[in-house]
Amino acid sequence: MGSSNLRHPQPVNNKYIFALVDCNNFYVSCERVFAPKLQGRPVVVLSNNDGCIIARSNEAKALGIAMGTPFFKAARFLSRHGVTVFSSNYPLYGDMSWRVMTTIKKLEPDVEVYSIDEAFIRLPHSAILDLPEYGRRIRNIVRQHTGIPVSIGFGPTKTLAKIANRFAKKEDKYQGVCDLSSTSAQPFLGRCPVGDVWGIGRQSSDKLQKQGITSALDLLKRDDGWIRRRLTVRGLRTVMELRGISCIELEKAGPSKSIASSKSFGYQVKSLNELREATATYVTQAAVKLRLQRSLAGCLQIYLRTNRFSRTQPYYAAGETIKLPEATADTALLIKLALQGLEKIYRPGLRYQKTGVVLSRLSPAQRRQLSLFADPQKNRDKLMSALDLINARWGRFTIQHGVAGFAKPWQHRQDRKSPAYTTQWADLPIVRASGQL
């Protein structure tokens, strides 16, 4: 009897309506904010090292450009059709995301930032009588404050809000807002492929389609026992959400449980000195994130990889995990330990494609546990704070440790990167007034 809670998801009280706010073609929209002439024209954004296409405007989608297409294969096609191509500009996208989420949080108190371009809102069930109108108001305010277009879906559960958002984005008749909170969801579920249901992964989708379940509505009609046997309790929770029974609560953001920093190199690196520069750079970036969330790291992992698709050398991947004697956020100490780990896993003669670091076993900085003979390092804490303040104001590499290098020729390629319009003083857009009324 006591195990019944493990067999059946426990529904949350349906006193609320959920909304999913999703930025439209987010990376492309960020680029268009600062290049309005690109409105209505095909635009794509590339992954790290300008490898493949990871974002497309609607006009680019209409040309048949597929997500994930390698850039070298599509380059001629893109040029022939006048497609504007950008390298990924993550500092810009991160800052624009912060502006969108901050705007949403000023409108509603209960917000879960789900990803860089998505946020859930929880509303009291009876607070707003006209949800579509309220959704249009949110869209207008976000567009006015940030320049980013969004689509909004309302539903009695987070899963149905996700599906509503899908229709708000894809079908023009909804004008960017779709409400499933006060209407039958079944007609919409019948047109929603089962693989597009939030919580149904690719393997589960393939398994369900072999059983003749191709839509969300097909899944909804199966009995609980059948679902639980094939999709476990987690799958049953998803189906209950499709039925309008809320089982997934709003989650407020907390500190990250681990922090990673890595990128593929712009070319294959053989030199240990360049690997040391890259490792020190990535440790520095991870340590800044660590201090921003006021945490300390108790464990550091360093790893190296060659190109697994190379035909001229064997694939090599190795990592070294270092447990810190005391949790810390001191960049210099973390760099020192990471470079010691790098020495252990480096193999001369190989050409490396990627290195990276992961900080884990994170704990709150205010609960630092020292050993009996530890130096509190108060001056080091003040030094780290001073470095962070300077780099936040003047750019993240204004002051850095010398081992991280200066030219950084190994950095990933960004041949088509737009300026850092919102995060670098030198890249701020310049507006000129004509003086004419």
- pLDDT over 70 percentage in the chain: 91
Q: Binning pLDDT at 50, 70 and 90, where does residue 397 land?
A: confident
C-beta atoms surrounding 68 within 10 Å: 9
What's the confidence (pLDDT) of residue 388? 87
**Tokens (6 digits) for 259:** 């922090």
Give the residue extent of every domain in the chain. 8-253, 259-404
Q: Binning pLDDT at 50, 70 and 90, where does residue 373 land?
A: low
Query: How far apart (Å, rounded) are the C-alpha atoms in residues 70 and 50?
Result: 9
pLDDT of residue 13 exceeding 80: no
Q: Candidates 3.40.1710.10, 3.30.1490.100, 2.60.120.260, 1.10.1370.30; correct CATH number of 259-404?
A: 3.30.1490.100
pLDDT tens, position by position, 82-122: 999 999 998 899 999 999 999 999 999 999 999 999 999 99
Q: Name the nearest CA neighbour of 359 among 278, 282, 271, 300.
A: 300
What is the mean predicted confidence (pLDDT) over 408-418? Answer: 78
What's the confidence (pLDDT) of residue 91? 85
pLDDT tens, position by position, 18-67: 999 999 999 999 999 999 999 999 999 998 888 899 999 999 999 999 99
The side-by-side arrangement of strands in the sheet containing 317-328 is 259-269, 352-364, 295-306, 317-328
What's the confidence (pLDDT) of residue 18? 94
pLDDT of residue 3 exceeding 50: no
- pLDDT over 90 percentage in the chain: 59
Answer whether 301's CB lies under 8 Å from 360's CB: yes
What's the confidence (pLDDT) of residue 309? 83
pLDDT of residue 163 exceeding 90: yes
pLDDT tens, position by position, 381-394: 888 888 888 888 77
**Tokens (6 digits) for 160:** 């149905």
Q: Which amino acid is at 45?
A: V
pLDDT of residue 189 exceeding 90: yes
Greatest mean pLDDT among 79-83, 127-131, 372-376 lies in 79-83
What's the confidence (pLDDT) of residue 2? 38
Query: How far apart (Å, rounded) are the C-alpha atoms in residues 309 and 351?
Result: 12
What's the confidence (pLDDT) of residue 251? 82
Q: Binning pLDDT at 50, 70 and 90, where does residue 4 land?
A: very low
What is the mean predicted confidence (pLDDT) over 219-223? Answer: 89
pLDDT tens, position by position, 333-368: 999 999 999 999 999 999 999 999 999 999 998 876
Query: How far apart (Å, rounded) are the C-alpha atoms in residues 284 and 258?
Result: 15
Question: How do strand 118-124 and strand 259-269 relate by DSSP bridges?
Answer: unpaired
Beta-bridge mates of residue 120: 20, 112
pLDDT of residue 12 exceeding 80: no
**8-253 topology per CATH:** Alpha-Beta Plaits (3.30.70)
Mean pLDDT of the residues in the chain? 88
**Tokens (6 digits) for 33:** 């904010």
Q: Which residue has the higher pLDDT, 13 or 293?
A: 293
What's the confidence (pLDDT) of residue 435? 61
**Tokens (6 digits) for 132:** 């579509």
